Structure 1
């Protein structure tokens, strides 16, 4: 098992942010501002090394440990009820951290190979006090895929809500050269392989964070050759060598000694890029879908410049939700109240200029932009505690967040 010191974590923070601070207060300030998912690990490392954190930071660390314990109990219950549900990262990575070190846990993420079991799990969670927060729907693998994001308020009113995401797709690429995966490769039966792949896929949504480097280090440090070979085969099967090469280069600059995956990395990166170009070229048969996907990707990952933002705004305002869905875009969904929006399975209905999803756990109104006009709600009330705004309801689907589990 890797040994993580506070000095290691501080070096990783400097590597990712480019800021080298001297005092613990300055280090903590930078971590909170730019790498909040590292804060709990940093505090726990300081505590383990005998530093007096003071009452406020000690309380914060106790809260994070209690949050992890809550998720541990939740995962145990879900595992008993739905053993086929596949967890992604989260506790499987946290359990590889050295003793006494805390990995920040924003939520739990699960892939359900069977959607009927996903609906069943969501229904029981809702009956147990969870609320539907948001959802995402998209076409992939010849079918309508979806992700449900549920949350639950903790006893402490000032703590962040607990979260859990249930999805029919385990891995979402850029949807241009790296498609959405509706199943995991067989090699991902090994948790290390699976969670490394999940970490690499998140690079399509945001740059690598300090916690990502720590996660990769705890996954791969000391791994036997057989396991490293399995990781390499999975990375190759999914054409993820460019993302792995970027991660490996960062790890080389870090204080960690992490073995690289076997193979001619440069040649494998070229092979992945060639495969992606071929995949993207096949999408030229739907040039509109390819173009709007690229625009939306830029909006999600923050790479869109002023022209990209203007182009997306112009195009998205002229598209209907149905056109956006058929073009391959994910639609972000707001849950609405009322049993009249329930159905035995997933059904899409176009009504009043809006696209609705009727499901076993209730209804959703689907949008592809940032908000929906209240007129399109046709009197339906948004559920899940979403804030009402005068010009419309904000739509933030189950896209990856900075501190996702």
Structure 2
């Protein structure tokens, strides 16, 4: 932000604001605020505790431990981010990238870490680098495509040191951030060059997965209120390019409905987003995607229609000489053979025992799988 330009938003962030955001009475104690924060999302309690500490409220050993574990989680994700950048030119979106704009004393809780890589070969280098350091982990994978180009989303998760209290550590590595909704918004490859803009677009993209909540409102307030935030026109241009004006507008409006959080919002930013949101909404109605409303469950047909499919793990593998995965069809479905594991691709949550057994037989018969296993 240049010295002569006002911030896009001004915000207030203290226990009183959080108390109101969580729907509590103004007489509610700090303890009540922390308890309500616990119900919002994993780790949000640590944010509330750090907010209380910043206002001079003493923390006991349990509360201090909660904050310390949250900071340790952030530090571990920051270390992974650095290693992933060296392994596969990975770039973080949200998470540590966004946390740097929070007030210094506050902890932005992070359930998982999102990394985007330039291509699939880079993805498997990063995933292998992660799993080589772990004794036990879970690998999940999803596959989709756009205009004939295949994209993968992988997730590696493993237990924390305090697995009874804390959610598993989880790192998502993907070749695409903006996956859309399979109805009116397609995959949009690429990530904005400017970090604040990239984080804003990634936050807006999350609306396709879930409604916005208190944490999202705080995130957008912190980003738009940062001295690093670019001019409104740059944000509007990116929202238009990534077809996210409706979602970004909804996110800013959502933050504006949180009692006391925003004290100023740039009117030009909101007006431009509103105009673009109307245009984008009309376009979505006029040009629905071919897969819109599809209830197709067959993985092969979903792949042909460029709809996402998920991988059900069949077995681990070790194919250090494979830079990328392969999809192999069999009579009842499709296999995904990767450098680290083999999966049967599925289009629904529940999978029949018949399909699972057929996939195992097909895996055993597939010469690529046998040669690389």
Q: TM-score range by the shorter chain?
A: 0.7 to 0.9
Structure 2 residue runs without a partner (length 5+):
1-9, 361-373
Q: Does 1:117 align with 2:122?
A: yes
Matches within 5 A, 1:2-401: 4-14=13-23, 20=25, 22-82=28-88, 84-129=89-134, 131-158=137-164, 159-184=166-191, 188-223=192-227, 226-254=230-258, 255=260, 256-260=262-266, 261=269, 263-280=271-288, 283=289, 286=290, 289-292=291-294, 315=295, 319-339=297-317, 345-351=324-330, 353-378=332-357
Could you list the runs of 4 or more consecutive aligned residues of structure 1 that deviate by over 6 angstroms after TM superposition?
none
Task: Tell me by how many angstroms 1:20 deviates.
Answer: 4.1
Distance 1:56 1:269, change over 3 A: same
| Structure 1 unmatched ranges of 5 or more | 293-314, 382-405
User: For the residues of structure 1 that align with 2:236 and 2:273, how far apart are their CA atoms?
Assistant: 10
Distance 1:262 1:320 in 2: 42
Shift of 1:250: 2.3
Q: Which residue of structure 1 aligns with residue 4 of structure 2?
A: none
Contact 2:183-2:293 at 8 Å conserved across structures: no
**d(CA) in 2 for partners of 1:213, 1:152:** 29
Q: CA deviation at 1:363?
A: 1.0
Q: CA deviation at 1:222?
A: 4.8
Do the aligned partners of 1:251 and 1:258 also contact (CA within 8 Å) in 2? Answer: no
Distance 1:110 1:340 in 2: 23
Higher helix fraction: Structure 1 or Structure 2? 1
Distance 1:173 1:258, change over 3 A: farther
Shift of 1:46: 0.5
TM-score by length of 1: 0.77
Count of residues in correspondence between the two structures = 343
TM-score, length of structure 2 as denominator length = 0.83
> Is the CA contact 1:239–1:276 (under 8 Å) kept in the aligned structure 2?
no
Q: In 1, distance between residues paired with 2:21 and 2:229? A: 26
Tell whether the 8 Å contact from 2:184 to 2:292 is kept in structure 1 after alignment.
no
Mapped partners of 1:340, 1:49: distance in 2:
52
Counterpart CA distance in 2 for 1:135 and 1:5 is 39
